């Protein structure tokens, strides 16, 4: 079965602005670029199911996650049933939980011993096993990003959405995490849709680049 993401989305944000796009993201890294307010995060939110489109369709391979057209019944798979990982710009780590507990939170269906084993394995994979029993307030920016990526991967995602996760980091840290994402893209062999403002980041990461302006792909 093809694991390509396909999305056709129309969302009216207000009287002056609407997002109206059709995109396809095969396995590998697709970077979505554009100025602030152009609709990048809106597209990711609609794909994830956090923001319903006025009309359109979102599918991963043969699995339809969302469909709404005039005269046709809607499909809207709940967010937690879409096999995707979403890393936000703000990371959204739980501040009262350790790094290990943050990752284990995504493994609630596993027995406790298996949750711990898998969480430690993922933290080791992204190079922050030493943070397992520490809380986010003690992390550096790069460490927090790695923990967020480990938690995202815990769901064994079939699609990864990255919303400017490296924008607050310095150049060296950004380069390190770009290399990690490239490695993960090879291992996972799933579509990765990565939003960025940085041309250098897109050039180092992307298998393909899409540019959006005022809600339209250009």
- Read off the pLDDT band of 138 (50, 70, 90): very high
Q: At what angle do helices 171-188 and 141-153 cross, to 10 degrees?
A: 10
Q: Which tens digits make up the pLDDT trace of 80-106?
A: 899 999 988 776 789 999 999 999 998
Q: In the predicted model, what is the mean pLDDT of residues 28-40?
A: 93
More confident residue, 89 or 37: 37
Query: How is the chain split into domains, by residue range?
Result: 1-80+191-218
Q: Return the pLDDT at 73.
A: 64
Q: Write down the pLDDT at residue 1.
A: 47
Give yes or no for a contact between 217 and 40, defined as CB atoms under 8 angstroms apart: no
Report pTM: 0.88
In terms of pLDDT, which residue wins out, 1 or 120? 120
Assign domain 1-80+191-218 to its CATH superfamily.
P-loop containing nucleotide triphosphate hydrolases (3.40.50.300)
Model confidence over 2-17: pLDDT tens digits? 589 999 999 987 778 8
If we measure between CA atoms, which residue out of 100, 158, 88, 167 comes closest to residue 129?
100
């Amino acid at each position: 079965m093809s694991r390509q993401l396909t999305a056709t989305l129309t969302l009216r944000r207000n009287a002056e602005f609407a997002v109206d796009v059709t995109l396809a993201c095969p396995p590998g890294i697709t970077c979505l670029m554009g100025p602030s307010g152009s609709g990048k995060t809106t597209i990711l939110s609609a794909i994830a199911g956090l923001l319903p489109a006025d009309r359109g369709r979102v599918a991963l391979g043969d699995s339809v996650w969302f469909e709404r057209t005039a005269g046709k019944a809607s499909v809207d798979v709940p967010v937690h049933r879409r096999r995707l990982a979403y890393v936000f710009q703000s990371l959204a780590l739980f501040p009262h939980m350790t790094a290990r507990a943050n990752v284990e939170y995504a493994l609630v269906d596993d027995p406790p011993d298996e949750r711990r084993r898998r969480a430690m394995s993922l933290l080791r994979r992204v190079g922050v096993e030493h943070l397992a029993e520490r809380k986010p307030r003690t992390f550096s920016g790069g460490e927090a990003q790695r923990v967020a990526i480990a938690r995202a991967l815990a769901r064994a995602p079939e699609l990864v959405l990255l919303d400017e996760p490296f924008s607050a980091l310095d150049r060296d840290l950004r380069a390190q995490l770009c290399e990690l994402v490239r490695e993960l893209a090879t291992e996972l062999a799933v579509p990765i849709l990565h939003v960025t403002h940085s041309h250098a980041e897109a050039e180092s990461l992307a298998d393909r680049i899409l540019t959006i302006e005022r809600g339209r792909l250009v």
